[in-house]
Structure 1
């Protein structure tokens, strides 16, 4: 059994209480208020549930992460980046990015990015906590991603591509910019081959939680403005 979260209490149980099967299921209930979401991420917890289900909270073990200095760019991706037939922006179309992430997943048979989720993360964006990366070709939004920045941590949530490699372009630019800003870790939540191809790997949950404690409370002086060129991403 997992605990049910009261509406008036934003505290979470210890992640050590998360189930082994399904991996990482920790609690249910509560709400998607900004305060609760911030507390969740600060403790290595995130919401993930299907429309019509209660809100489910997760902290899987192991945890998929990417250390910014371990970003891997394949030869083909470097070649794609050097074409420079695209534009990358930060925080210019957050609502459009999260909607596109939801639509792409619906086309694949379902999405957890329901309207309440979109409203919740858009509110975090308004508070300067959630951010987006956009990839444009000829003025059309073709890819991007969104997530949360807290301290020196970035918590990736979702990405989408409408053209080949568009999400990889967004992730590459984000990672290099985070490295410039002194961020130490990108939380990728759950392993998948797409992220692994960019250098993501799994670490034990308790190692992840220790890194959280070390980086959550560091001051964040970033201003989320796009100011890097393709040479910074590809290494010239």
Structure 2
């Protein structure tokens, strides 16, 4: 099992790579010729049906209240690229102040969450999950508001999918992504409340 130390991990993410486990559970660094970004400006949108849910204030939000449970929730799928080794790496990054969870709660029950790495003004989204319907969607809307309020300049979702497209996620080529990432790395932003 290859050892990953914190400085090497942060250097990898800062260069635009991300960790994933293959179907055998072996970790490797990956990159993409096109990156999915969540807009932090007026291009961000969400389904109209979600407005009603947001107006009902059914969920409260928290940062890092139960990081490990969010990590477990993100990995709890039939096929997951978050291996036990990668969960340990996320935990170490969390303890070192780099990995964070943005969570929605319904009273004392974790409703959903988004797991990500924060470097400067970049939030690199690793995964999201929900246990209560709309929990992760509300987390997405509230996370974008949170990042805007703190001056973040990049929300990297890594890979596009139809769910992210509903929030306005768009693709950029690597030659567009790298300057955005570099700009974000030099911005000092506090993620927590």
Which band: TM-score by shorter chain?
over 0.9
Q: For the residues of structure 1 that align with 2:33 and 2:126, how far apart are their CA atoms?
A: 17
Deviation at 1:186, TM superposition (A): 0.5
List gaps (5 residues or longer) in structure 2: none
1:158 to 110, 120, 127: 127
2:52 equivalent in structure 1: 79
Q: Does 1:40 align with 2:8?
A: no
Listed one character per residue, the Cα deviations across residues 132-167 of structure 1 (whole Å, up to 9, x for unaligned) are: 011111311121111011111100000001122211
Aligned to 1:60: 32
Which protein shows a greater Rg? 1
| Partner deviation per Cα, 1:81-134 (whole Å, 9 max, x = no partner) | 11112211111110110011111x2xxx21111111111111111111111011
Q: How does 1:15-164 map to 2 (within 5 A)?
A: 31-50=3-22, 52-69=24-41, 70-103=43-76, 105=77, 109-164=78-133
Residue 224 of structure 1 pairs with residue 181 of structure 2: no
Query: TM-score of the superposition, structure 2-length normalised?
Result: 0.93
1:129-208 aligned within 5 A: 129-208=98-177
Q: In the comparison of the two structures, how many residue pairs are matched? A: 192
SS of 2:115's partner is strand
Q: Equivalent residue for 1:234?
A: none
Secondary structure of the equivalent of 1:48? strand
String of CA shifts for 1:153-207, please: whole Å, max 9, x gaps: 1000000011222111111111111001111110010110111101110011111
CA distance in 2, matches of 1:36, 1:119: 15
Q: Which residue of 2 aligns with 1:7?
A: none
Asked whether the equivalents of residues 21 and 86 of structure 2 are also in contact (C-alpha less than 8 Å), the reply is no
Secondary structure of the corresponding residue to residue 68 of structure 1: coil
Contact 1:47 1:58 in 2 (8 A): yes
Is residue 118–residue 191 contact of structure 2 (8 Å, CA) maintained in 1?
A: no
Which string of whole-angstrom CA distances, capped at 9 and with x for unpartnered residues, describes residues 60-88 of structure 1?
A: 11111112113202211111111112211
Answer whether contact 1:134 1:144 (CA < 8 A) is retained: yes
**Cα distance in 1 between the residues matched to 2:191 and 2:180:** 23
Tell me how far apart the structure 2 counterparts of residues 122 and 55 of structure 1 sit (CA, whole Å). 15
Once the two structures are TM-superposed, the CA of residue 55 in structure 1 deviates from its matched residue by 2.2
